[in-house]
Amino acid sequence: MDKNTVYILIHSPLVGPLTWSSVAEQMRQRDIAVVVPTLVDSPDSTEPFWKQHSQSVSQALAQIPKSSSVTLVAHSGAGPLLPVVREILPNTVNAYVFVDAGIPRHGATRLDLMKSEDPEWAEQFQKELERGERFPNWSFSDLEAVIPDKSLRKQMVPEIRPRGLVFFTEPIPVFDGWPDAPCVYIQFSAPYERPAAQARQAGWRTYKLEAGHFHMLVDPATVMDLIVKAVNRSG
């Protein structure tokens, strides 16, 4: 694998770039090229969320030479975006890394993926969305178990992006021939057991850390080491 690849750390559309900030800092300290795009969308836009988010990544990478390869790393809800991000980039993709993330399926909505992972929970979740509720609605105290550091939790809460039914029910395309590069799956938490099993069945390199969903904010050095080693071993 290309050890000179630029790591693109993509946060879930439900939160913000703080997710990857500590890992990115660890990478910079080791002279590893890294970019953390901010996924942006507008309520006034007629474009689907996935398209606005893939364009956000493309714009963040505008200064990267087209000759440089990139490694796309997705956390949580960013997983289904990796194929559409790949399609908009001129760079070669070195590898795809899913960190406690959903795995793309052509035309599937985020709700469809949830139903394949945990049908009973997803059915209840859909009813809540249909009543007009939005997710996530985590509070400072809700996040204590997964982000023990009070300072980081205070920074995380303003980045939370509650979404409604239209977000979770938009179909996300996957281009023919994806994946076109090696894939790695890293599982932190129990809700992602089924995607991790799916990754193993597909022959991807899979790893598991018994941790919380935002473990990259708890132990960024370990997470960074695992991502880099896993990518260098894949292929």
pLDDT reported for residue 234: 80
Per-residue pLDDT tens digits for 109-142: 999 999 988 899 999 999 999 999 999 999 999 9
| Residue of 224, 162, 166, 167 whose CA lies nearest to 26 | 224
In this predicted structure, what is the pLDDT of residue 118? Answer: 86
As a whole number of angstroms, the distance between CA 48 and CA 227 comes to 30
Which tens digits make up the pLDDT trace of 3-17? 789 999 999 999 999
| Residue of 234 and 154 predicted with greater confidence | 154
Confidence of residue 235 (pLDDT cuts 50, 70, 90): low
Which SS3 state, helix, strand or coil, does residue 27 take? Answer: helix
CA distance 125 to 150: 29
Look up residue 56 and give its two tokens: 């956000």
pLDDT of residue 1: 66
The answer to whether residue 208 scores a pLDDT higher than 80 is yes
Domains and CATH numbers, the chain: 6-233 (3.40.50.1820)
The pLDDT tens digits of the residues spanning 23-78 come to 999 999 999 999 999 999 998 999 999 999 999 999 999 999 999 999 999 999 99
Question: 99, 75 in Cβ contact below 8 A?
Answer: yes
Give pLDDT tens digits for 73-113: 999 999 999 999 999 999 999 999 999 999 999 999 999 99
**What is the predicted pLDDT for the residue at 228?**
97
Nearest CA-CA partner of 77 in 55, 46, 36, 49: 49
Torsion sign, CA atoms 15, 153, 60, 105: negative
Q: Taking a C-beta distance cutoff of 8 angstroms, is the pair 133, 218 a contact? A: no
Sequence-distant (6+) residues with CB within 8 A of 41 are 13, 49, 52, 53, 56
